[in-house]
């Protein structure tokens, strides 16, 4: 027994000096730990390989870039389609410039992503959907949660980002509705789309819209597997055969971009793009000797967003990649 400040005695169930048995714990305490442990184990099982791959392959650099302008909701409300709802941000300027949709990486809609969007806004009307996480937050964990668990109720059993057998992720349907909205705002204008990392290959599935004339497939990382990846997984773009067939029949140009030694976006995917799209595919792979001239291996992944502010060859290579993407979009969206 111990005394509190009022002099009253009370039991102290967690002190070795107590002279009586601990009191019975409330029911909420009894169930709190047993519930949390299985959930934690499940999260580790589900995200273990993806998190390990991210930790092993992702560049160990701090993303730079700070937006200077105000990004607001483009539409009256967040855009909803078939049970999926996401906000879409833009500068709400005039629509005279050709539209470009910028899809963010697994790290979320980061300040660096918005800063890149502002750079693009010098030449284009830019639309940036918030696909998971919070606007302006750097959070790889939000991307992993979205991939494994996002939209599981509305899109059971694969969720918003899971890839069903012979299918595309459910998020593709929502992105198609976004392309329709952007197309309605920019009547008659060609549309460009940039995908990065977890969203890298998704622009290909949006080539069913006739006005999408140019897409950038930057370091595509889907599908992310649990414990191991087969050769088929490493070459997969995470899209259905039907969606890929529509993309093949499109006349849109495709710019493929990755660092040569990137182990998150396997080179097998890049080779598939070359083979599937032939002369329509422009190869923007960055050779290793450009960003590691001394031959010393470096972890690299994000070609357009996370690496551009890095000092030295990696940052120079990223800045060059941005310029080439800009030139590609300007040329293809000029008509």
Residue 73 has pLDDT above 50, yes or no: yes
Structural domain contains residue 12:
no
- The span from the first CA to the last CA of the chain, in angstroms, equals 84
Residue 90 has pLDDT above 90, yes or no: yes
Structural domain contains residue 18:
no
More confident residue, 205 or 32: 205
Structural domain contains residue 25:
no
Residue 23 has pLDDT above 50, yes or no: no
Instruction: Output the pLDDT for position 19.
Output: 40
Structural domain contains residue 1:
no
Instruction: Output the pLDDT for position 55.
Output: 59
What is the token pair recorded at 82?
A: 């078939």
pTM: 0.81
Contact 194, 188 (CB under 8 A): no
Q: What CATH number does residue 124 fall under?
A: 3.40.50.1820
Structural domain contains residue 15:
no
Residue 226 has pLDDT above 60, yes or no: no
Instruction: Output the pLDDT for position 170.
Output: 87
What is the token pair recorded at 325?
A: 């993407």
H or E, element range at 41: helix 27-57
Residue 21 has pLDDT above 90, yes or no: no
What is the share, in percent, of the chain residues with pLDDT greater than 70?
Answer: 75
Domain count, the chain: 1
Task: Give the mean pLDDT of 256-263.
Answer: 94
The answer for 238, left when phi > 0, alpha when psi is -120 to 50, beta otherwise, is: left
Structural domain contains residue 19:
no
Residue 250 has pLDDT above 90, yes or no: yes
Q: What is the pLDDT of residues 115-146, one digit of tens each?
A: 999 999 999 999 999 999 899 988 877 767 76
The answer for 250, left when phi > 0, alpha when psi is -120 to 50, beta otherwise, is: beta
Instruction: Output the pLDDT for position 222.
Output: 85
pLDDT bin (cut points 50, 70, 90) of residue 164 is confident
Instruction: Output the pLDDT for position 26.
Output: 42
Instruction: Output the pLDDT for position 264.
Output: 87
Residue 152 has pLDDT above 70, yes or no: no
Q: What is the pLDDT of residues 271-325, one digit of tens each?
A: 999 999 999 999 999 999 999 999 888 888 999 998 888 889 999 999 999 999 9
Task: Give the mean pLDDT of 92-113.
Answer: 93
In the predicted model, what is the mean pLDDT of the chain?
82
Structural domain contains residue 11:
no
Structural domain contains residue 191:
yes
Instruction: Output the pLDDT for position 18.
Output: 38
Alpha carbon 174 to its chain's center: 15
- Window from 39-53, 58-72, 91-105, 219-233 with minimum mean pLDDT: 39-53
- Window from 34-48, 58-72, 222-236, 248-262 with minimum mean pLDDT: 34-48
Domain limits at 285? 34-332
């Amino acid at each position: 027994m111990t005394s509190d400040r009022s002099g009253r005695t009370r039991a102290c169930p967690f002190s070795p000096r107590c002279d009586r048995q601990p009191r019975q714990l409330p029911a909420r305490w009894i169930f709190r730990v047993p519930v949390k442990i299985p959930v934690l184990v499940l999260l580790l099982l589900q995200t273990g390989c993806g998190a390990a791959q991210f930790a092993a392959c992702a560049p160990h650099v701090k993303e730079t870039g700070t937006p200077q302008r105000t990004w607001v909701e483009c539409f009256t409300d967040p855009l909803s389609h078939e049970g999926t709802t996401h906000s879409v941000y833009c500068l709400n300027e005039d629509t005279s410039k050709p539209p470009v949709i910028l899809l963010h990486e697994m790290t979320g809609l980061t300040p660096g992503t918005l800063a890149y969007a502002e750079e693009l806004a010098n030449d284009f009307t830019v639309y940036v959907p918030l696909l998971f996480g919070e606007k302006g937050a750097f959070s790889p964990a939000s991307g992993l949660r979205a991939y494994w668990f996002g939209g599981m109720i509305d899109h059971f059993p694969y969720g918003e980002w899971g890839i069903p057998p012979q299918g595309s992720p459910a998020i593709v349907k929502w992105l198609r509705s976004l392309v329709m909205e952007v197309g309605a705002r920019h009547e008659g204008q060609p549309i460009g789309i940039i995908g990065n990392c977890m969203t890298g290959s998704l622009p290909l599935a949006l080539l069913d819209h006739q006005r999408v004339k140019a897409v950038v497939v930057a370091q595509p990382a889907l599908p992310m597997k649990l414990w191991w990846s087969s050769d088929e997984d490493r070459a997969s773009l995470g899209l259905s055969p039907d969606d890929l067939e529509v993309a093949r029949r499109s006349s849109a140009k495709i710019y493929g971009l990755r660092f040569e030694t990137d182990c998150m976006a396997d080179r097998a995917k890049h080779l598939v793009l070359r083979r599937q799209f032939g002369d329509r595919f422009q190869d923007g792979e960055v050779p290793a000797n450009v960003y590691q001239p001394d031959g010393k291996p470096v972890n690299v992944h994000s070609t357009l967003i996370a690496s551009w502010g890095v000092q030295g060859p990696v940052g120079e290579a990223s800045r060059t990649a941005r310029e080439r993407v800009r030139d590609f979009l300007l040329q293809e969206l000029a008509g």
